[in-house]
Amino acid sequence: MTARRRAALRLPADALLVGAVLLVVVAALLSALGLRPEGADDRARRLESELRCPVCQGLSIADSPATLAGEMRSVVAEQVAAGAGDADIRAYFVERYGQWILLVPDAVGANLLLWAAPGLLLLGGAAVVVTRTRRRGVRAPVEAVEKVASERPRPLALAAVFGIVIAAVAIPLAVAVGPRALGGQITGGQATTQAAAPIDDLQARVTTNPTDVGALVALGDAYAVAGRAGDAADAYGRALKVEPDDIGALVGLSSLLLGAGRPDGALTLLDRAVAIAPDLPDAYLYRAIARYQLAGSLTADARADALRFLELAPNDPRRTLADQLLAGATPSSSP
Amino acid sequence: MSAAVIRPSRTRLVASAIAGILLIGAIALIAVGFTRDPSRIESPLVGRVAPEFRLVSLAGATVDLATLRGRPVLLNFWASWCIPCRDEAPLLRAAQERYAARDVAFLGIVYQDSPASAQAFVDRYGIAYPSLLDPDGRTALDYGVYGIPETYFIAADGTIRAKQIGPLDAASLERQIQEALR
């Protein structure tokens, strides 16, 4: 009598349990999806977290403090700002480092096995459990087994729980992969990358060796990327004190001056940079912008600089900037 | 009763056969995996056209890879802070002299280093070929460099024939130059 009553009560209890698990799954899904649209920063950050750092090979370039990872992050930020699609940006790195560079490998060829393995294993496990519990129900159990078996959940409830577990794994997986397959291309504002780890690392290098120009310039770059213009200018300034002709510091500082609305100061530095390294594309791009800002229109000098940049770096993602500059005044003769 | 005993034993046989095959497969996969160096990144560039670059050397000269088309090129990424590069430098210097008659162009690309330290290294080891500056590291990225020293052997037609990851020794240098000369 009491046993039957308990059995009758088990059903709503199971339903409650299943309901609770479903609720958690739905809540997790909603938070994973996020309710706000993905901005340029989020997009750059997501792409960075999916690219493997060639130096710190267990880390993504978003998490790695290596200089190379910093350079790769700036490539991602530039390409995102230039409006390149996710697939283009991934292809850029695959072309250079192979599929190895992808922390989230493409689901093609042999990789399909990798993608399918967790689901197949779960299904296999579920099948084993279901057949075993069902068999136990059919066979006349030994006394010892009977005691344990009577305490075990029924096969149907087990199957339901497994179904939910599989859904809990498969659905977020689909959510994680889905947006990339759809290739949502959202661009906007200046892309900034999180650079806290490299900044700390570089600060340590600069503290131990205050005349390490390479570290000072990299620190300036990291500050600039993090939007800390004042600190960046300070780092570049210190680099220039040690090595007055350091191209990286000259160009970095001049880009800061341009951002701060001081094209005159930037122009002086860039003239020096061009004199030292007559074939550095960046210096010409920035000088074109400085000259454009100073004159308020596209002067012959600015135009020549923009063209020189395009000539030196025809595949640079920032070529759209130069194109825009040239198109603003001379749409017909832009290259 | 007896049927109930026989049926499970047959399915169990099939199940253990499948499990056994999967286990052997997994062990084979792991065994193959252990024979490889997981930190080594095989370059997808070998066999393809070498990425273009136009860089300024420490001496201030501009070097454009495109203008070297028709000559085999040895492209070595190095830095003054790279310890194996110190052992490699004399080897490369000797090779340059040896292959001058074969018109092999030697180029160094300075990787994540300051021009001053790089110049000191060049002076110390008497490197006669151009050492190019790659201030934003884009050329290194284009070549898929991940840990110097790395050396590319480019044939006269502009395709990359071989890539050395890590320091060269006399034998590997000789073998790969020969590949680029072929």
Q: What is the pLDDT of residue A330?
A: 42
Chain A, 49 to 68: residues with Cβ < 8 Å from chain B are 54-55, 57, 67-68
Higher model confidence: residue A25 or residue B107? B107
Chain B positions in Cβ-Cβ contact with residue A252 (cut-off 8 Å)? none
Please indicate whether, in this complex, the C-beta atoms of B141 and A100 are within 8 angstroms of each other: no
User: Are A220 and A227 contacting, i.e. CB atoms less than 8 angstroms apart?
Assistant: no
**Residue B55 pairs with which residues in a beta bridge?**
B63
Calculate mean pLDDT across residues A205-226: 85
Q: Does A96 touch chain B (CB under 8 A)?
A: yes
DSSP letters along B107-134, please?
Answer: EEEE-S--HHHHHHHHHHHT--S-EEE-
| Residue among B181, B94, B107 at smallest CA distance from B150 | B107
> Which residue would you say has higher pLDDT here, A218 or A187?
A218
The pLDDT of residue A281: 86
Find the farthest-apart pair of alpha carbons in chain B and give their distance in angstroms, rounded: 93
Burial (CB < 10 A; 0-12, 13-18, 19+), residue A32, is exposed
Q: How far is CA A80 from the centre of its chain?
A: 10
Mean pLDDT taken over chain A = 78
pLDDT reported for residue A228 = 80
Query: Which pLDDT band holds residue A155 (cuts at 50, 70, 90)?
Result: low
* β-strand partners of B38: none
Which stretch of A150-159, A304-313, B132-141 has the lowest confidence by average pLDDT?
A150-159
Q: Sorting pLDDT into bands at 50, 70 and 90, what band is A185? A: very low
Length in residues, chain A? 335
B44 vs A54: CB contact, 8 Å cut-off?
Answer: no
Q: Which position has the higher pLDDT, A167 or B122? A: B122
The CA dihedral of B153, B156, B160, B165, to the nearest 10 degrees, is 0
SS3 B62: strand
Q: How many CB pairs under 8 A join A and B?
A: 86
Of B38, B41, B112, the CB nearest to A67: B112
Whether A68 sits inside 8 A of B137 (CB atoms) is yes
Position with higher pLDDT, A299 vs A161: A299
* Cis previous bond, A37, omega within 30: no
Quick: pLDDT tens for A251-305: 888 888 887 777 888 888 888 888 888 888 888 888 988 888 888 778 888 888 8
The model's pLDDT over B125-159, given as tens digits with 9 standing for 90+, comes to 999 999 999 988 999 999 999 988 999 999 999 99
Lowest-confidence region among A45-59, A82-96, A129-143, B72-86: A129-143
**CB of B85 closer than 8 Å to CB of B93:** no
- Most confident option among A1-10, A57-66, A201-210: A57-66
Please tell me whether residue B160 adopts helix, strand or coil conformation: strand
Q: What pLDDT, on a 0 to 100 scale, did the predictor assign at position B7?
A: 57
pLDDT at A181: 43
pTM summary value: 0.53
pLDDT tens column, A65-105: 988 999 999 999 999 999 889 999 999 999 999 988 999 88
The interface predicted TM-score (ipTM) is 0.83
Q: Most A CBs within 10 Å: which of B5, B62, B114, as the mutation test of the A interface?
A: B114
Which contiguous run of DSSP H or E holds residue B74? strand B73-78
Placement of tokens 């169990």 in the chain: B12
Does the pLDDT value for residue B105 go beyond 90? yes
Residue of B nearest to A97 (CA): B144
